[in-house]
Amino acid sequence: MEKFKSSSKMYNQRGFGKRLGFGKSPALIIVDFMKAFTQDTYKLGGNYDNEIAHVKKIITTCREKNIPIIYVTTKYHSSLKDGGVFVEKVPSLHELIEGTDGVEVDERIKPEPEDYFIVKKYASSFFGTNFSSLLTYLNIDTVIVSGVTTSGCVRATVVDANQYGYRPIVPQECVGDRKEILHDNNLFDMDMKYGDVLSTEEVVDQLQKL
């Protein structure tokens, strides 16, 4: 976020970008870190090795502190009838058919039996799912949102989290996009309007203090 210092100053002066901070009960949300996104043999795929490495650091801390980890993936019936106009607009989503290898979570961040799972059909982890109900059941007040893509499903999840009354935290090295300009601009906008964009180290430090 270093490159946005001058813009941040202007936004801050106009009443944007106040820190929300952590609440008392966080959860780590891992959005769409599936093979179809993390392997470049897929149309949806790219190189997110660095992002995966940083997410692993937060996963390790969460397991040490018994902080819930929720995996959110996107998958469709082979008919694609459950994808609506989204799969019409983005035909590469046709790769995300349930039961195929592409919708499996990347093995480098393999889930454990105690983790939670949400399946979505659209960008936001909240839309048309039981995600909010699960967060309520777990008494969560803070969502640490990682995954791909920054401008797509991460952003949509962060915006909805804010609207549902959760405190969104975005570890900037734990989210990625296909274009750097999209990644950077959306991180800045989320930081000014919807949640707190922090470094991985800052997030780990906050979790260690719980």
Interatomic CA distance for residues 128 and 121, integer angstroms: 8
Active site residue 174: no
Are the beta carbons of 190 and 197 closer than 8 angstroms? yes
Whether residue 183 is predicted with pLDDT greater than 90 in this model: the reply is yes
pLDDT of residue 172: 97
The percent of residues in the chain predicted with pLDDT above 70, rounded, is 97
3-state secondary structure the chain: CHHHHHHHHHHHHCCCCCCCCCCCCEEEEEECCEHHHHCCCCCCCCCCHHHHHHHHHHHHHHHHHCCCEEEEEECECCCCHHHHHHHHHCHHHHHCECCCHHHCECHHHCCCCCCEEEEECCCCCCCCCCHHHHHHHCCCCEEEEEEECHHHHHHHHHHHHHHCCCEEEEEHHHEECCCHHHHHHHHHHHHHHCCEEECHHHHHHHHHCC
Q: Which residue type is seen at 18?
A: K
Interatomic CA distance for residues 87 and 121, integer angstroms: 9
Whether residue 41 is predicted with pLDDT greater than 70 in this model: the reply is yes
Q: Which residues contact 79 (CB under 8 A, 6 or more apart)?
A: none
Interatomic CA distance for residues 168 and 156, integer angstroms: 11
Whether residue 81 is predicted with pLDDT greater than 70 in this model: the reply is yes
Residue 14's pLDDT band, with cuts at 50, 70 and 90, is confident
Structure tokens at 169: 């935290």
Are the beta carbons of 172 and 147 closer than 8 angstroms? no
Average pLDDT for the chain:
96
Q: Which residue has the higher pLDDT, 17 or 107?
A: 107
The torsion angles phi and psi of 19, rounded to 5 degrees, stand at -70, 130
Condensed to tens digits (0 to 9), the pLDDT of residues 161-180 reads: 999 999 999 999 999 999 99
Residue labelled with tokens 């939670």: 116
Condensed to tens digits (0 to 9), the pLDDT of residues 129-162 reads: 999 999 999 999 999 999 999 999 999 999 999 9
Smallest Cα–Cα separation from 198: which of 43, 12, 22, 6? 22
Residue 15's pLDDT band, with cuts at 50, 70 and 90, is confident
CATH 3.40.50.850 at 24-139+156-163+174-189, yes or no: yes
pLDDT of residue 56: 98
Residue 11's pLDDT band, with cuts at 50, 70 and 90, is confident
**Looking at 59, 144, 153, 207, which residue is catalytic?**
153
What average pLDDT does the segment 113-125 reach?
Answer: 98
What is the residue extent of each domain of the chain? 24-139+156-163+174-189
pLDDT of residue 1: 59
pLDDT of residue 6: 67
